[in-house]
Amino acid sequence: MSDPYWNHSTHYHPGLARLVTPGTRTALDVGCGEGLLTRRLRAAGAQHVLGVDLDPDQVGRARAAAGGPPEATGLDYVAGDVLAPLPGLAEPFDLVTTVATLHHLPLDEGLRRLRELVAPGGTLAVVGLTRPRTAWDRTVSAAAIPVARIARRRRGEWEHGSPIAEVTTSHAELNAAARVILPGARLRRRLYWRYTLVWRAPARSADQVRRGR
């Protein structure tokens, strides 16, 4: 079936929605835009989904598309900078997602902030872009061109209304930062000039559970 919202980034929304499990009580989408992924996460079973975006116009569209108040829909939205204290971000989340947004943030600070937002035992999933720097980077990038052309002809390409930022981080730089900040994260190159990074936060120890931490 044709998806009117398909593009190189939304292509990965179904895979992110599959990360919702029966234990996913809360989910956060950073850089939510008009809320496409938040609605998928809610439909997949997340009980309460919060979307955060710097653009108040996009947040307004997301709220309108939610179709009702947060207590009825399980969807809520906040306009603001995820790096700053914001309403709704005081407690960590069982699932944190972000698509084509990490390159808008300082790399190390952004990864650390995303890590902070994940509850013990929870999951962080990033879909993003890196800048080709090496010969291998450029080879992988060039290989995506014919696939993308075929996909555009068959599916079209939805143009989002979110601001665009230049991509400056290389795949190697991202990998090095993730090894330090998110040990054990799985980083993979993907189609359409994207990567996925998935990290599972350590679960609380029995001693921490007893202490209520």
Q: pLDDT tens across 37-73, in order?
A: 999 999 999 999 999 999 999 999 999 999 999 999 9
CATH of the domain at 156: 3.40.50.150
Q: Is the pLDDT score of 1 beyond 70?
A: no
Mean pLDDT of 166-177: 96
Q: Is 1 inside any structural domain?
A: no
Q: Is the pLDDT score of 211 beyond 60?
A: no
Residue range of the domain that includes 205 = 10-90+101-211
Q: Is 124 inside any structural domain?
A: yes
Q: Is 53 inside any structural domain?
A: yes
Q: Is 131 inside any structural domain?
A: yes
Q: How many domains does the chain have?
A: 1
CB 35 within 8 A of CB 27: no
- pLDDT given for residue 143 in this prediction: 83
- Over pLDDT 70: what percentage of the chain? 94
Mean pLDDT of 1-27: 91
Q: Whose structure tokens read 């790399």?
A: 107
- Rounded mean pLDDT of the chain? 92
| Phi, psi values for residue 157, rounded to 5° | -150, 120
Q: Is 198 inside any structural domain?
A: yes
pTM, 2 dp: 0.91
Q: Is 95 inside any structural domain?
A: no
Q: Is 21 inside any structural domain?
A: yes
Q: Is 189 inside any structural domain?
A: yes
